[in-house]
Structure 1
């Protein structure tokens, strides 16, 4: 595209070329009339003669050939080492005897410059998706966390002290081998696929009845914010495979969907949220009892 101070716009180029080719003007006369150099007038007259009016547009300055372009065979080797071996640009450059900057440029062009773009399990470029509006899809899952004995758990006080804290915590059941049973807390999480807004509740079990109650309250919570839930994606846990779950979804007007078995990446948004929740809340500090983190979360 011509810049603002160009002597010849595409329309002016066409006028110049027609006066030379169609009207018989000399190139010198046309150049003097349009106040451009002789080579410029000759160039546009030649373009018009060869290509017609379509030849008056600017051409790309990109060269026709790239003598220093990385050969395609080398590009394939770089991509193979990146995907299969997950090597960095410096390591790949060392193996192929190439400059690291060349390897990095190839990885950027192939969108493999960040390992987060590559699926850890398959080694293929990650295929990401996102529904176009809130409520089109929600993800549900349960995160199981061990209850904390009085005095703190083994993650912060060590295993020996942790066992002593378990034994000294009152009111705990014992197994047939007289082992203290701390039980677990189950964080039922619902997250919207589009907005990533999350809703969570903590319960003592992960039964179908509990999961259905969480779903009902979550859909009501989203509805209060103007979001209508259309589909729900879950794993293949017993609660989500039950007839009660199916009937509850039918009653709420929600289409239930389940992930492929042994493929948690399909429900990756909620899996990543659970990791963030564990790193930023559950395991981030020392809690003296099981009630402390749960009160903090519900508050």
Structure 2
């Protein structure tokens, strides 16, 4: 910073103020951004990404829709959207639980394993962040009981679990905030319908504009049986 101040002929304080304003006051800000490491496992079930998104519950539409904060549902708490997305096929499974405790994460994992099994997918690995529910011994035991290897992202590198993060953003845009729900219960009831549309009908950019279910190559009889 002293060299910059001498070179441009201003005080060190002025240099510091300008760099802070531009977000360049840390050396890390001057380092080139590490390019994303894109990867994709070969088979469905090789890796399942798990994550959780907290959403506020409400008794009536809030300020996001009405523009009036005074009408927000104060004190009704939160609910937690537990999401799973298969690394290869992008087939998703999601449930809403009352919390993000280990038992909620385990219940979601067990339900996800059952769901993917109906599609002929065996889950072999899961990838999570370093949240407390995923660090719990009970969650590790559940993974071993299900024959699943548990991997966690490196600390401070959320992009490692980027497929789950992107799915959450899509869900917020196309489900959670896409409609004016009368209550959070109505929003919750709409989630399975949206998940079905995401898996079976919605074109996916990374899948050549085909829906995730197309990756499985299911015969017509199975498509009819499963498409409910």
Q: Distance in 2 between matches of 1:124 and 1:236?
A: 21
Do the aligned residues in 2 keep the contact of 1:138 with 1:232 (CA within 8 Å)?
yes
The answer to whether 1:135 aligns with 2:29 is: no
Do the aligned residues in 2 keep the contact of 1:142 with 1:206 (CA within 8 Å)?
yes
Task: Map residues 3-152 of structure 1 onto 2, 5 A cutoff.
Answer: 123-150=33-60, 152=61
CA RMSD of aligned residues (A): 1.6
Question: What is residue 298 of structure 1 aligned with on the other side?
Answer: 192
Give a deviation string over 1:118-163, Cα, whole Å, max 9, x none.
Answer: xxx953443210001011110111111111232x1111112xx333
Residue 157 of structure 1 is aligned with which of 66, 71, 74? 66
Specify the SS of the correspondent of 1:145. strand
Give a deviation string over 1:176-202, Cα, whole Å, max 9, x none.
Answer: xxxx31211211111100101000001
Do the aligned residues in 2 keep the contact of 1:188 with 1:202 (CA within 8 Å)?
yes
Structure 1 segments, 4+ long, off by >2 Å, are 121-127, 161-166
Q: Structure 1 residues 136 and 149, CA, compared in 2 at 3 Å: closer, same or farther?
A: same
Do the aligned residues in 2 keep the contact of 1:148 with 1:287 (CA within 8 Å)?
no
Give a deviation string over 1:90-134, Cα, whole Å, max 9, x none.
Answer: xxxxxxxxxxxxxxxxxxxxxxxxxxxxxxx95344321000101
Question: What is residue 246 of structure 1 aligned with on the other side?
Answer: 140
Do the aligned residues in 2 keep the contact of 1:144 with 1:186 (CA within 8 Å)?
yes
Residue 266 of structure 1 is aligned with which of 160, 182, 185? 160
Shift of 1:165: 4.3
Matched residue pairs, number?
163
Shift of 1:208: 0.5
Specify the SS of the correspondent of 2:168. helix
Greater length-normalized contact order (CA 8 Å, ≥ 6 residues apart) = 2
Unaligned stretches of 5+ residues in structure 2: 1-30, 194-228
Unaligned stretches of 5+ residues in structure 1: 1-120, 167-179
Q: TM-score, length-normalised on structure 2?
A: 0.68
